């Protein structure tokens, strides 16, 4: 049975000096297999390593990692996991190679973070581990993806960054494609009983879950 363990909580923060951008980082476990979904930025590197250590884990214990999208606040710590297979959508790789100047979340140096990592292009329906599959959630960026756990739980990253976005069914911020982004929010709302957003706490039935304990799921 896969379990989702929040390693770092996401926060939606703003200031008159910019956005601190603390994203959610989740660990998905099934038997001896461990998948990390997103990484956070280098300002949280020590906190991420501590969260793993609290579970008696180190970066080499993570065999697979999933890049939801290439924005700096989700990608920067990917280099900690050099032994892992890195799942990323091909459209996101293309965007990282030549990001538009209007995308301040994907600076030109972002692509260098993935240098020398074991990249695996992925897309809709690919199984990462048993009971955990990739779902495409484009719009926020061209190749944004999430994870579907046991058919009713979605790790959504910035396709659904907050509870307010899920309730409104409208994407926030400045997505690459507004129509696609709104459709991705709608897809998550219809598909998931539990949502792990990119910059908020876990949500069940459009309300925050009561605690942050791991959720267990049965796989058919």
Query: Quick one: three-class SS letters along 40-98?
Result: CCHHHHHHHHHHHHHCCCCHHHCCEEECCCCCHHHHHHHHHCCCCEEEECHHHHHHHHC
Asked whether 10 and 24 are in contact (CB, 8 A), the reply is yes
Number of domains in the chain: 1
**Cα separation of 216 and 23, whole Å?**
23
Strand, coil or helix: 170:
coil
Residue 151's domain is classified under what CATH number?
A: 3.60.15.10
At residue 206, the pLDDT reads 84
Q: What is the pTM of this model?
A: 0.93
Strand pairing category for 85-88 and 64-66 = parallel
At residue 216, the pLDDT reads 42
At residue 83, the pLDDT reads 95
At residue 19, the pLDDT reads 85
At residue 220, the pLDDT reads 37
- Ranges in the chain, pLDDT < 70: 210-220
Which residues span the domain enclosing 78? 3-216
């Amino acid at each position: 049975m896969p379990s989702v363990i929040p390693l770092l909580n996401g926060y939606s923060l703003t200031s008159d000096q910019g956005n601190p951008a603390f994203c959610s980082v989740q660990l998905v476990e099934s038997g001896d297999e461990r998948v990390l979904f997103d990484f956070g930025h280098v300002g949280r590197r020590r906190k991420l390593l501590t969260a793993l250590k609290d579970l008696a884990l180190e970066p080499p214990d993570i065999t697979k990692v999933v890049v939801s999208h290439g924005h700096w606040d989700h990608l920067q710590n990917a280099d900690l996991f050099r032994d892992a297979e890195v799942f990323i959508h091909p459209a996101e790789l293309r965007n990282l190679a030549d990001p538009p100047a209007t995308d301040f979340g994907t600076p030109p140096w972002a692509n260098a973070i993935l240098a020398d990592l074991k990249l695996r292009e992925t897309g809709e329906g690919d199984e990462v581990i048993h009971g955990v599959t990739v779902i495409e959630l484009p719009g926020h960026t061209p190749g944004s993806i999430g994870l579907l756990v046991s058919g009713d739980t979605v790790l959504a990253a910035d396709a659904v960054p907050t509870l307010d976005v899920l309730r409104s069914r409208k994407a926030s911020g400045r997505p690459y494609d507004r129509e696609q982004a709104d459709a991705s929010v709608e897809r998550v709302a219809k598909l998931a009983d539990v949502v792990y957003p990119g910059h908020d706490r876990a949500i069940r039935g459009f309300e925050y879950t009561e605690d942050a304990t791991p959720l267990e799921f049965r796989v058919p």
